[in-house]
Amino acid sequence: MVLVRNNKKDAYYVVTPKTCSCPAATYNPGQPCKHARKYFPQPKVTAPAVDSIKPEGKWPGGHNGPVDEIMGVA
Ligand SMILES: [Zn+2]
């Protein structure tokens, strides 16, 4: 946890890897604000994580899976 002075230099934000007391973090709950990203660089797991949950394009043989067999549109 770090304290970050705001641009007006009249207040400090409490910054942790996932939260911040600045307005931007309040408006975007669940998303690290620029402070969190700056002081706690996020591990680059976003792209691989997204890829891993995407369905594979085609089944072996170019079919879309059992549905093609059922519908007869292989
Ligand atoms: Zn912030």
Q: Over pLDDT 70: what percentage of the chain? A: 57
CA of 12 to the centre of ligand 1 (A): 10
The DSSP secondary structure of the chain, one letter per residue, reads: -EEEE-TTSS-EEEE-SS-BSSHHHHHSTTS--HHHHHHSPPPS-HHHHHHHHSPPS--TTS--SHHHHHHT--
Sign of CA dihedral 57, 61, 67, 71: positive
Domain that holds residue 63: 2-71
Question: What's the pTM value of the predicted model, to 2 decimals?
Answer: 0.52
How far does the centroid of ligand 1 lie from the alpha carbon of residue 59, in Å?
Answer: 45
pLDDT of residue 27: 92
Q: How far is the CA of 20 from the centre of ligand 1 (A)?
A: 5
Q: Looking at residues 61-73, what average pLDDT do you find?
A: 66
Over 90: is that where the pLDDT of 61 sits? Answer: no
Structural domain tally of the chain?
1
Q: Give the Å distance between the CA of 48 and the centre of ligand 1.
A: 26
Give the distance (Å) from ligand 1 centre to CA of residue 58.
Answer: 43
* Average of per-residue pLDDT values in the chain: 79
Bridge partners (DSSP) listed for residue 13: 4
